[in-house]
Amino acid sequence: MSEREGYGLGSIFFAFLMGGIVGAGLALLIAPQSGEEMRRRIRDAAEDVKDKTTGYAEEVKEKVTKGVEKGREVISETLEKGKEQIEEKKSAIASAIEAGKKAYEQEKERHGKA
């Protein structure tokens, strides 16, 4: 499924992971064993879930951080290019205005002398 439909790869992976964890927990509860052994297995399973979830959260955090940094770089580069283009246009406009003033003065002098 695609992200356009609201399901990204991360959410699908997370749902698969959680389904596996729930299934493992149910298997532990259903299997015949002593209370002590069952509590130990549940505790181990809970620790595994915690470790996997923490690992997954760290991966997501790292990817988001890299994405934000890349976004900042792109925005910074784009702003810099925009500033350069604005300066070029300002220079061209100033030159055009100066040329217009000179042409006006020349025409003014030419008509004034004629």
DSSP-derived letter for residue 3 is G
Q: What is the pLDDT of residue 38?
A: 73
Q: What is the pLDDT along the chain (114 residues), one digit of tens a residue?
A: 444 556 677 777 778 778 877 877 777 677 776 778 777 877 888 888 888 888 888 888 888 899 899 999 999 999 999 999 999 999 999 999 999 999 999 888 888 765
Output the CA–CA distances (angstroms, integers) from residue 75 to 62, 65, 68, 70, 71, in the order listed. Answer: 20, 15, 10, 9, 6
Output the CA–CA distances (angstroms, integers) from residue 101 to 78, 92, 98, in the order listed. Answer: 34, 14, 5
Q: What is the pLDDT of residue 72?
A: 92
- Range 37-58 burial, b when 16+ CB lie within 10 A, else e: eeeebeeebeeebeeeeeeeee
Q: What is the pLDDT of residue 85?
A: 93
